[in-house]
Amino acid sequence: MGRRLVLQIKEISKQYDTGGFVQQALDHVSLNLRDSEFVAILGPSGSGKTTLLNIVGGLDRYDSGDLVINGTSTKQYKDRDWDSYRNHTIGFVFQSYNLIGHQTILSNVELALTISGVSRAQRREKAREALVKVGLGDHINKKPNQLSGGQMQRVAIARALVNDPDIVLADEPTGALDSDTSVQIMDLLRDVAKDRLVVMVTHNPELAREYATRVVSLRDGTIRDDTDPYEVDETAHAPAVHRNLGRASMSFATSLALSFNNLRTKKARTFLTSFAGSIGIIGIALIMSVSNGVNTYIANIQRDTMTAYPLTIDQQAWDLSKMIESGQRNAEDQAKTSNKRHAIYPDTSSIKRASGLTSSIATNNLTAFKRYLDNPKSEVRQYIGKAGVQYSYDARFSVFSHDPTGALVNADGVSVGDSGTSVANKIAGMNGAQTGDFSAMQSTQMATLTGKSQGNTSPEAFHEIMAGKGSETVSKVITDNYRVVHGTWAKNRNQVVLVLDGNNAIPLTTLYELGMLPASDYTAMMAEVNAGKAVDPKIGKIDYAKAMDQPLKLLPASHEYVKGDDGRFRYVGDDASEISKLMDDAVPLQIVGVIKPVDGAKATPLQAGVGYTAALTNYLIDQANDSPVVTAQKADEAHNILNGLTFNPADDAAKAADAKAYVASLGVSQKADMAKSQMAQADANQNGGAASQGATGQQGATTPGASTMEPGALAQQNAEQGAAGNGAAALGEMSEQQLAERYDAYIATAPQADLVGLYSKIVPTSSYQDNLSTFGVLSRDAPSSIKIYADSFEAKNGISDSIDHYNAKAAKDDKITYTDYVGLMMNSVTTIINVITYVLIAFVGVSLVVSSIMIGIITYISVLERTKEIGILRAMGASKRNVSQVFNAETGIIGLLAGILGVGITLILIVPGNAILHHAMGTDQVNAALPLSAGVILVVLSIVLTLIGGLIPSRKAAKQDPATALRTE
Ligand code: ADP
Ligand code: MG
């Protein structure tokens, strides 16, 4: 025998202290064992046999003395050394077999090899050999409970031998067997003892004497008898060499397989455990699903709201919130002073209100602000939503077409060149407006100059279709909310679409303006309306295809000014024959599609009419800059190229000269109208002086005296020239030509004060910049309006804050004023949303805690249940780490199952859950749904939580004393 093992038990004592009662299990026991003998330890129950065996096998620790293995003291042994010692040197056989019930007998035998890290194939082979040796070659795939007691004990012996240990320790191996089977086992052990040390505990003296080569009797923890004592000659023995016993360790895969097998044999229990664990996960998953549904709903509402109400910053803006604030302040002031008595107090509320109104109106420097918005480094950029920032420009143009009768139609008022735009009418309108309405007066003056009103610079029915990001012609905001019912979207500057409202309607006026219905019908209809007659137009529907056939022609504003023989430019937009001449060079617009809002559209920024692309706006910007009228105006910045007047007359003389020049530029009928209007004024002055005071009031600021003089002066002139009797009567009989001549004569000799008065009354003043914008000159840097889209209220608030920061830094004139309508509407909503979110987060947190506690308890129970298995593993040399690893693997698997189960059950529960949700909320907009990422995260979370929950129990399992664990039944 090559084994030269000598085991020396030196003065070993061991006591057990249980609740104050000290039991001396071993009392200074000394015993030397030879390398191959069959030692039987005899003794009555409780004499310390098992304790001695466990100490020899490294399962239990001695209190004092020493266990010397091949001359090496084990006093300094660490856990690792003991583990390795058990694994490589010791094979255990127990009375109660201690097989792992959920493993096949082959796996049970393999276990010891598994722990020492032998490869799978080798493991199989060795385990099979060992089983064949004990006569169980035919049963390797049976489970322990399918074997008889003797067979199970033979499996245990095979397991003890498979690692080819130096020592086999058997604790009453035949204790539970009948005598026949006992004999078979004893034969087997005697065989085993041929080439190794076998120490067998028994209380059967006959068997001991028959089979063992040496019998040691134990009583009350001391050796009473030894049939073959062995004195070790310490000097003769070769010096102790610490043999490297090799590592005893188990791979994680083995731990997993072990746990997986265990769980597989207890399917129902595993399912219930996982289900219990999954309840927490289900709770979290359900709350997450609902929260996800609600959040999606809220986010959708927010985005829709922000799409419908982008932050809009206009060149001319008024701050509604500031107005409301000042209104509230006034009301508060009012309330404070309401108790005053015994005197008269002025009520200043209306003047404050008025001042609040005017002070909240501001002009925004959008050029500077656009520079800020376009700067990628600006704070505001992070908050801008998917729809981005939209800049609009005051593109100025006219659109013409021919109605079914062939008449030229202007999209900005149906007929071209009707009497409504004549200068005389404007003047009449001006007189009619002499009730102190200053703004009406100004716009009338402007209209006189251009034939168009200031506010209406492109046909009202025409709207630019918001462009998308990058090269997208149409923004997602539009395509999300509108659908094409015929044709396609407009893709370039020559293409437009007809925009219908939700009822497929377009205002009747717009249809006339686009020439789709005869203009004469419109004129007739309007005449009836003006005459006070009830009008109920019955007009049939128009086919999509027919409407799309209507050709439209666009003239940029700059092209509507034509240079006359006198070198001056003239507006010809209301001159049908001039327009007809220009039509050849006009930009053709083709209606390529018909669109309408989708059902339930969230935002409908396009009004019914015609939608054109931003490409057209860009084209118009280029066109204006290159046009002759703009070139001419740019060449002379001091004078208005339309009438030759000076932009900023320096003194009264210059004004008088301009007044003369202006009158000279008027036509005969216009001059006659001027004359008539003045005579009418003169009459009014004579017949009711008080009434005429109002007429002069609005011009009185500069030259009050002069203006009252003027009508009288003309009347006087009439008298001087010998017109018969009453001046007004004489005028009524005069021809236009005569009136015009009379007016010229008056102007020629009129005093400067009269002319200055006339200047301020009828001569349209404008500036160089005004003229350029009238001609449609635009700068891409100077939008007329900016819309900023956000995707959520939070982002919107971020934008508002960024603008506040911008304003704090900006120069006084660059500060931005705007009304945050959504902010005004939604303040309380945002608070509610935040509360909901926090409540949901709290729910999730509570579920998480409950879930982890539950999982911890379950793992703990599992540890208690598997105590025996822990003992077996430890006896076979598994380290503490291996044991906790096995339990971690098990909790991991349970966590995985619990997670998958939880997510699965949640997915099923969501179906009826949504039905309930829809019913309860009265809307199907809120849809509980578990996002895939959340599902994966929850499964991982379940694993992590279970692992954490099982950490304490698994550490407890690892710490368990293997000897105690094995004693547990
Ligand atoms: P035997 O195997 O000879 O029947 P044991 O070695 O199992 O005896 O036990 C020896 C004595 O030690 C007994 O009195 C027993 O009660 C006591 N004992 C053994 N293990 C423990 C323990 N873990 N805690 C307390 N007492 C113990
Ligand atoms: Mg015992």
Q: Which atom of ligand 1 lies closest to the CA of 51?
A: 6
pLDDT of residue 49: 93
- Which residues, 6+ apart, have CB-to-CB distance to 340 below 8 Å? none
Q: Determine the distance separating the centroid of ligand 1 and the alpha carbon of 800, expressed in angstroms.
A: 80
Contact predicate 355/381, CB 8 Å = no
Q: Which ligand is nearest to the CA of 45?
A: 1
Q: Which atom of ligand 1 lies closest to the CA of 17?
A: 25
∠ Cα 274 279 280 (to 5°): 110
Q: Which atom of ligand 1 lies closest to the CA of 961?
A: 23
Q: Please state the separation of Cα 193 from the chain's center in Å.
A: 75
Q: Which residues of the chain fall short of a pLDDT of 50?
A: 1-2, 418-456, 689-713, 715, 717-729
Mutate to test the pocket of ligand 1, among 26, 50, 62, 95 (most ligand atoms within 8 A of CB): 50
- Which residues, 6+ apart, have CB-to-CB distance to 82 below 8 Å? 58, 74
Q: Determine the distance separating the centroid of ligand 2 and the alpha carbon of 133, expressed in angstroms.
A: 27
Contact predicate 673/424, CB 8 Å = yes
Q: Determine the distance separating the centroid of ligand 1 and the alpha carbon of 45, expressed in angstroms.
A: 9
The residue among 366, 383, 296 whose CA lies nearest residue 794 is 383
Question: What domains appear along the chain, each with residue ranges and CATH number?
Answer: 6-248 (3.40.50.300), 255-304+830-967 (no CATH), 394-533+542-635 (no CATH), 652-765 (no CATH)
Residue 41 Cβ < 6 Å to ligand 1 = no
Q: Which atom of ligand 1 lies closest to the CA of 53?
A: 6
Residue nearest to atom 13 of ligand 1 (CA): 46
Residue 968 Cβ < 6 Å to ligand 1 = no
Residue nearest to atom 14 of ligand 1 (CA): 46
Q: Determine the distance separating the centroid of ligand 1 and the alpha carbon of 58, expressed in angstroms.
A: 16
Contact predicate 68/7, CB 8 Å = yes
Mutate to test the pocket of ligand 1, among 12, 13, 15, 16 (most ligand atoms within 8 A of CB): 16
pLDDT of residue 950: 78
Residue 871 Cβ < 6 Å to ligand 1 = no
pLDDT of residue 84: 85
Residue nearest to atom 1 of ligand 1 (CA): 46
Residue nearest to atom 24 of ligand 1 (CA): 16
Residue 25 Cβ < 6 Å to ligand 1 = yes
Residue 17 Cβ < 6 Å to ligand 1 = no
E-strand stretches of 493-627:
495-499, 552-556, 561-563, 569-571, 587-597, 609-612
pLDDT of residue 132: 93
Mutate to test the pocket of ligand 1, among 23, 96, 966 (most ligand atoms within 8 A of CB): 23
Residue 50 Cβ < 6 Å to ligand 1 = yes
Q: Determine the distance separating the centroid of ligand 1 and the alpha carbon of 165, expressed in angstroms.
A: 26
Contact predicate 662/645, CB 8 Å = yes
Q: Which atom of ligand 1 lies closest to the CA of 201?
A: 2
C-alpha distances out from residue 504 to 289, 477, 542, Å: 40, 20, 11
Q: Which ligand is nearest to the CA of 96?
A: 2
Classified as helix, coil or strand, 483 is: strand
Tokens found for residue 354: 């008025």
Residue 385 Cβ < 6 Å to ligand 1 = no
Classified as helix, coil or strand, 698 is: coil
Residue nearest to atom 22 of ligand 1 (CA): 16
**Ion ligand 2 nearby residues (CB, 5 A):** 50
pLDDT of residue 446: 35
Q: Which ligand is nearest to the CA of 94?
A: 2
Residue 252 Cβ < 6 Å to ligand 1 = no
pLDDT of residue 303: 77
Residue 137 Cβ < 6 Å to ligand 1 = no
Contact predicate 494/589, CB 8 Å = yes
Q: Determine the distance separating the centroid of ligand 2 and the alpha carbon of 218, expressed in angstroms.
A: 12
Q: Determine the distance separating the centroid of ligand 2 and the alpha carbon of 59, expressed in angstroms.
A: 14
Residue 44 Cβ < 6 Å to ligand 1 = no
Q: What is the DSSP string of 715-778?
A: HHHHHHTT--SSHHHHHHHS-HHHHHHHHHHHHHH--HHHHHHHHHHHSPP--HHHHHHHTT--
Q: Determine the distance separating the centroid of ligand 1 and the alpha carbon of 225, expressed in angstroms.
A: 20
Contact predicate 158/107, CB 8 Å = no
Backbone torsion region of residue 28, taken as left when φ is above 0, otherwise alpha when ψ lies between -120 and 50, otherwise beta:
left
**Residues of the chain above pLDDT 70, percent:** 86
Q: Which atom of ligand 1 lies closest to the CA of 52?
A: 6
Residue 18 Cβ < 6 Å to ligand 1 = yes
Residue 46 Cβ < 6 Å to ligand 1 = yes
Residue nearest to atom 6 of ligand 1 (CA): 48
Q: Which atom of ligand 1 lies closest to the CA of 172?
A: 2
Q: Determine the distance separating the centroid of ligand 1 and the alpha carbon of 63, expressed in angstroms.
A: 14
pLDDT of residue 827: 65
This prediction's pTM = 0.56
Q: Determine the distance separating the centroid of ligand 2 and the alpha carbon of 178, expressed in angstroms.
A: 18
Residue 962 Cβ < 6 Å to ligand 1 = no
Q: Which atom of ligand 1 lies closest to the CA of 963?
A: 23
Q: What are phi and psi of 247, to 5 degrees?
A: -80, 140
Q: What is the mean pLDDT of the chain?
A: 80
**Cα–Cα dist 457/444, whole Å:** 14
- Which residues, 6+ apart, have CB-to-CB distance to 285 below 8 Å? 902, 903, 906, 930, 934, 935, 938
Residue 355 Cβ < 6 Å to ligand 1 = no
Q: Determine the distance separating the centroid of ligand 1 and the alpha carbon of 947, expressed in angstroms.
A: 35
Q: Determine the distance separating the centroid of ligand 1 and the alpha carbon of 17, expressed in angstroms.
A: 11
* Residue 409 CB-density burial (10 A; 0-12 exposed, 13-18 middle, 19+ buried): buried
Residue 681 Cβ < 6 Å to ligand 1 = no
pLDDT of residue 692: 40
Q: What is the DSSP string of 269-335?
A: HHHHHHHHHHHHHHHHHHHHHHHHHHHHHHHHHHHHHHHHS-EEEESEEE-HHHHHHHHHHHHHHHH
Given the structure tokens 């609009």, which residue do they identify? 392
